[in-house]
Amino acid sequence: MNKIGKTLEVNMYYGASELIIKRAKELRKNTTETEEILWSFLKNNSILGLHFRRQHPIKTFIADFYCHKIKLVIEVDGEIHYKNESREKDDNRNAEMERLGLTLLRFSNFEVENKINTVLQRIYAECGKLLNENKE
């Protein structure tokens, strides 16, 4: 890979290991129904012309959805995320992503499955805000 490619890889994947990148590829083949619902609205640059990636490697994590242009991570949380051990891991993950300068939106499976319009309104609002911040 040429120097520009390596720079892009480091910037976009935040130094994710080959193992994390491989795991992300596997996860893309096995997305949950809830992730598929949200992906149907994010794909094809449907949100303000922004390109989202699914199951995107970031450092030691794999984000459900990621837009590099505005550095936005979107996570869809199933039931396991509401257990104490998972909450602690999620809090640490959130803090690390914030240290990397990323913005994080989290939605529950219930929200995506039953309140998709509200979810999309929040995503559009955050994307618009981040786009405006990038212009300044």
Q: Domain ranges for the chain, please list them.
A: 3-135
Among candidate residues 38, 12, 37, 7, the one with its CA nearest the CA of residue 24:
12
Residues of the chain with pLDDT under 70: 1-10, 79-86, 136
Pairing of strands 61-67, 53-58: antiparallel
Q: Does domain 3-135 have CATH number 3.40.960.10?
A: yes
Question: Can you give the pLDDT at residue 3?
Answer: 41
Question: Can you give the pLDDT at residue 88?
Answer: 75
Kindly report the backbone phi and psi dihedral angles of residue 30, in degrees, each rounded to the nearest multiple of 5, phi listed first.
-130, 50
Among candidate residues 121, 85, 84, the one with its CA nearest the CA of residue 105:
121
Question: Can you give the pLDDT at residue 92?
Answer: 85
pTM > 0.85: yes
Question: Can you give the pLDDT at residue 12?
Answer: 87
Q: What six digits make up the tokens of 81?
A: 């995320």
Question: Can you give the pLDDT at residue 91?
Answer: 82
